[in-house]
Structure 1
């Protein structure tokens, strides 16, 4: 989720705060102050817990405020800095570590792939028996764009050697039954 800090303050009247994970959502007001955010420098592992109600740095205006330190915020921060190096960007994280929720590898994240082996990207057969592969090809194109960005990140020194963050893993599809096998063969041929 991306919010302009200035807009958030004007809209809600207060700085963004983390969600209260221990009690039901409250209408109006901020979650209890015992929750803390981590202010994270984009593209670094350095973070420091800050209380939004007490920290002066949490109240300093920024051009872009990113909520959450996952892959989407990290990628967006990197892209924005490439496009406009003068932007001030702050990333806020509610967990003690970076990228530990949806972007964590144990939660099936960080698994960039070309989408060619993901049957879920291909809808069932059309009434005429054909197989639509547009979504699969779209995912494949997006993955190719990601690879181009990663190559740029390596060349520019934004990240270290690719061997430190790219780990190729064989990916296969397995199906059972004549109909599913026929579908997989036809899908393969269509791709």
Structure 2
């Protein structure tokens, strides 16, 4: 059979969600399920609780595996396909493990014109993490290149976990941000 994937997958191609990394634990805690159900009860349509429910699952698992998405669907009582579609559409949901401090470097036009490529190279050099490849060997860092962090007037812009840092981030500011992470002054991923 001619198949674009390596031989070990050519006889049984996997659906997109089945290609996602798996979490060590596959079930939401009873507390997380209760939170999700409480949120869903606030809406006339339970599907409206999908985004906050996915945040709860991501916090609990560290990222959203297919199993985590199925757990969210079950807790909400909505179709799995809906949850999968929402989780894979939005970039704020991680579909693979990330480091304790996840860097996102904007390389869109405005940031690019202000040195985003150099900033991205410095992040890679200083963390040992490569875009899209998961956490660094020590588990502390991960990095992704992103399109826009909504700070076009003062780029290059970087986001660490959920905190956005702009105002012309240079190598000195990057080093100060990394030191703050090492000292625990920046909230770790999922906190």
> TM-score under structure 2 normalisation?
0.24
Q: Which has the higher helix share?
A: 2
Structure with higher Rg: it is: 1
